[in-house]
Amino acid sequence: MDLLRNDLGRVCVPGSIEVPQLVGLESYPQVHHLTSVVTGQLRPECSWVDLLRACWPGGSISGAPKLRACQRLAELEPVARGPYCGSLLRRDWDGSVDSSILIRSLLLQGRQLRCHGGCGIVADSDPQAEAEELGWKLHPLLEALA
């Protein structure tokens, strides 16, 4: 949440950034997510593209400090992420924009189908628990294919 507030600070009116919801719980059949809501008023000279550039990649899939975390991910991950952890955008006629980060996703390339997912790894993560969590997160995608 602090990383997102910092990202928004680059394109929002000073003093307009607020956190109306700090650590809410969203429950789904397979997994629970902790979510927060961070808002800000976009500066008049900034566009939705500026906003996207300031916030991408999302901190939930990169880490902090963002630049160094992205460098380490590039060093450690054996293949490029491609669309995985990229953004999917929809812009309405009224100018509003919805975006999402492609975390749990399926990608069809030719005759090969790739299933993507991830977990938040921190210093005290338990690798076995993270692998189990990834299984819970990917289960609905894999079940849909069965």
Domain of 40, in residue numbers: 1-55
141, 128: one domain: yes
114, 95: one domain: no
- Give 11: exposed, middle or buried? Use CB within 10 Å, 0-12, 13-18, 19+: buried
Residue type, 16: S
Which among 19, 36, 55 is the end of a domain? 55
- What tens digit of pLDDT does each residue of 52-103 get? 999 988 888 888 888 898 898 889 888 888 888 888 999 999 988 888 888 8
48, 10: one domain: yes
Q: How many domains does the chain have?
A: 3
131, 82: one domain: no
Secondary structure (DSSP) of 80-118? --TTTT-EEEEE-TTS-EEEEE--SEEEEETTEEEEE--
For the entire predicted model, the pTM comes to 0.75
- Spatial separation of the C-alpha atoms in residues 138 and 141, rounded to whole Å: 5
- What tens digit of pLDDT does each residue of 98-114 get? 888 888 899 898 999 98
89, 50: one domain: no
